Structures are given as C-alpha cells and as structure tokens.
C-alpha cells in the first residue's frame, strides 16, 4: 500500500446542496457546483482541503492559507451530478467544526484537491482498521476498495452508542464499536487497549495489514505497540494522525514515522 506524491491542488468554488444530520456528532454535507466538473473520483484515503473564511471573488491570501484550511475526506463523488459528499465530526470547537455545525444550504466554500490516497496493490487476507469518528469516512472508502478476498476487521471508537452508523451503503460490515463516554476515556485510549484483543481474534497472522487513523498521540502509541511489542513489520502498517488533542490545525501528513 503506497501513498501518492503530493501535488499542488486546484481551488474550486462550491455551494452546499444538502445537509443531513447523521448522528448527534456527525453532519453529512453534499457540495455541488460547476467547478466540481472534472474532479477526480477520489482514491480511498484521499483528502481534500477546505478553505474557510476566504472571499470567493478574490484569490486566497497565501499568508493566511494554511491557518484557514482544514483536511477532510471526499467520501463520495458523483461525476454525473458533480456532487461531493463530506462527513464532518462536530467536535465542539474549531474553524471547520463550527462552520459545519451552522452551515446552510446555498452557502459557498472553497475546496482544493483531491490529493493523496492509497493503492492496495497486494491485497492482504485480513485488514484491521482502527479508527475514530474523524476517520470513519476514510474507513468506509477503504472498505469499498478492498477486494472481496480481503476480510476487514474494523474497530471504531466514538463518543457514545448514538454515534454508531453505517460505514458504507454498498458493503455490509459489522464494526466493533467502542464508546468513550461509558469509560470516561480520552480519545484513542479504547482503540489502544483493543489492539491486543484484535490479536486474539485474528485467526491468520500471515498477510495481515493494519490501518490506523485517529488522534495523533494515540496513533503513535499504537504504532509503537505494534512495531515494538508485537513485531509487526513496518510494511504491514499504515498509520495517520487525523487530528491532535489540544492542537488546532494539526498537519495533514502525520504518519507517525518520526
Ligand atoms: C487525511 C485526513 C482526512 C480527514 N477526514 C476527516 C473527515 O472526513 N471528517 C472529519 O470530521 N475529520 C476529518 N479529518 C480530521 C480533521 O481534519 C480535524 O479534525 C481538524 O482538526 C478539524 O478542524 P477544526 O477546524 O474543526 O478544528 P481545529 O481548529 O483543527 O482544532 C480545534 C480544537 O478541536 C480539537 N479537535 C480537532 N478535531 C477533533 C476531533 N475530530 N475530535 C475532537 N476534537 C477535535 C483540537 O484538538 C483542538 O483542540 C481528517 C484529517 C486528515 C489528516
């Protein structure tokens, strides 16, 4: 599984077409607009950049660009209608979360991308996905890209039972759900303690692949646990910090490798 090289993305003006409150903490927003014509169907694990607070009639100010941008998963793109679906976690504070919580149909936004994404050249027999709610959209996309010969084991850590939702409208899967609130757990802690349980339920260790996407410090601890304690080979593991506790705008390329 390899990542695509990064390239400078194209800016597109889009408008909100539809909003669905999927769970108390997740809003699905469908964007549309002519600027989405030619948007490449995203590869699993790809990302887009959303630019908040920019004047759509002026070129973005390069000095403000980084602080105004946030990274999201293009969950679905329909090339016939040029509609792009993004699922936002409403985590309480932050430019993107606040925007998504109050977004209205017709509102304009600038997006860039998609970029990155994964290739799955040698399909593993089993893929273990350890994700929190910010990476559930990406997990759904990865799931849909897996060959049928690959068995997915998906562990989703969310706030509480109301956050359980379908990962895909085309693939049936039964994730293992872990609820932070029940155990007053910090983000990522339940995923972390579940790693050894995963090892107990996996029947075939040959050809096992790990994909971790969640809070950055928890991702690092799990990565270290797998590499150092369980002797998982580096080429059988992709890990990515999707956000970082008490840090705004955590870099989008934190793979936990340094
Ligand atoms: C490749 C990639 C794809 C991503 N796809 C998605 C996606 O599809 N949907 C999605 O919701 N997120 C996704 N994320 C995560 C998203 O980019 C971050 O959560 C981002 O920080 C949100 O920006 P913000 O402006 O709301 O908050 P920030 O301004 O970045 O942060 C403000 C505060 O909120 C906290 N915070 C940020 N995110 C979370 C969270 N998820 N839960 C709890 N606290 C948080 C921070 O620690 C900080 O204290 C993705 C990240 C990456 C790298």
Q: Which domains does the chain have, with CATH numbers?
A: 11-116 (2.40.30.10), 126-243 (3.40.50.80)
pLDDT, one tens digit per residue, over 73-118 is 999 999 999 999 999 999 998 999 999 999 999 999 999 999 988 8
All residues at 6 or more sequence positions from 231 whose CB lies less than 8 Å from its CB, including other chains: none
Computed on alpha carbons and rounded to an integer, the radius of gyration of the chain in Å comes to 18
Q: What separation in Å is there between the alpha carbon of 122 and the centre of ligand 1?
A: 30
pLDDT of residue 3: 47
Sign of the torsion formed by the C-alpha atoms of 211, 215, 218 and 223: positive
pLDDT(7) > 70: no
H or E element, residue 199? helix 189-201
pLDDT of residue 81: 97
pLDDT of residue 2: 46
Atom of ligand 1 nearest to the CA of 47: 1
Q: Provide the percentage of residues in the chain whose pLDDT is more than 90.
A: 78
User: Would the CB of 159 count as within 6 Å of ligand 1?
Assistant: no
pLDDT, one tens digit per residue, over 216-250 is 999 999 999 999 999 999 999 999 999 999 999 99
128-to-41, 115, 197, 219, 255 alpha-carbon distances in Å:
25, 24, 12, 14, 17
pLDDT band for 121, please (50, 70, 90 cuts): low
pLDDT(56) > 90: no
Residue whose CA is closest, atom 8 of ligand 1?
73
Kindly give the residue spans of alpha helices, DSSP state H, lying in 14-112. 62-68, 95-102
User: Would the CB of 252 count as within 6 Å of ligand 1?
Assistant: yes
DSSP-assigned beta bridge partners for residue 244: 247
Question: Which residue among 49, 91, 219 has the greatest number of ligand 1 atoms within 8 angstroms of its CB, and so is best to mutate?
Answer: 91
pLDDT, one tens digit per residue, over 172-221 is 999 999 999 999 999 999 999 999 899 888 877 778 999 999 999 999 99
DSSP assignment letter at 170: S
Q: What separation in Å is there between the alpha carbon of 95 and the centre of ligand 1?
A: 9
Predicted TM-score (pTM) of the model is 0.95
47 and 73 Cβ atoms separated by less than 8 Å = yes
């Amino acid at each position: 599984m390899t990542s695509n090289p990064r390239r400078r993305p194209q800016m597109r003006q889009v408008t909100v077409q539809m909003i669905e409150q999927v769970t108390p903490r997740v809003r699905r927003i469908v964007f549309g607009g002519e600027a989405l014509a030619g948007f490449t169907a995203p590869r699993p694990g790809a990302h887009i950049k959303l630019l908040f607070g920019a004047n759509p009639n002026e070129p973005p100010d390069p000095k403000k660009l980084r602080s105004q941008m946030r990274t999201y998963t293009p969950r679905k793109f329909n090339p016939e209608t040029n509609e792009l679906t993004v699922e936002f976690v409403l985590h309480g504070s932050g430019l993107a979360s606040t925007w998504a919580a109050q977004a209205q149909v017709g509102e304009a936004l600038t997006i860039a991308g998609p970029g990155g994404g994964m290739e799955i050249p040698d399909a593993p027999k089993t893929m273990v996905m350890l994700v929190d709610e910010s990476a559930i959209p990406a997990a759904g996309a990865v799931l849909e890209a897996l060959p049928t010969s690959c068995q997915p084991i998906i562990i989703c850590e969310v706030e509480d039972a109301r956050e359980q939702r379908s990962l895909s409208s085309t693939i049936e899967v039964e994730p293992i759900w872990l609820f932070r609130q029940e155990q007053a757990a910090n983000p990522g802690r339940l995923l972390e303690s579940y790693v050894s349980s995963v090892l107990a339920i996996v029947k075939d260790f040959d050809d096992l692949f790990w994909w971790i996407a969640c809070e950055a410090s928890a991702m690092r601890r799990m990565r270290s646990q797998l590499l150092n304690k369980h002797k998982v080979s580096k080429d059988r593991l992709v890990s990515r910090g999707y956000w970082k506790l008490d840090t705004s705008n955590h870099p989008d390329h934190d793979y936990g490798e340094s």
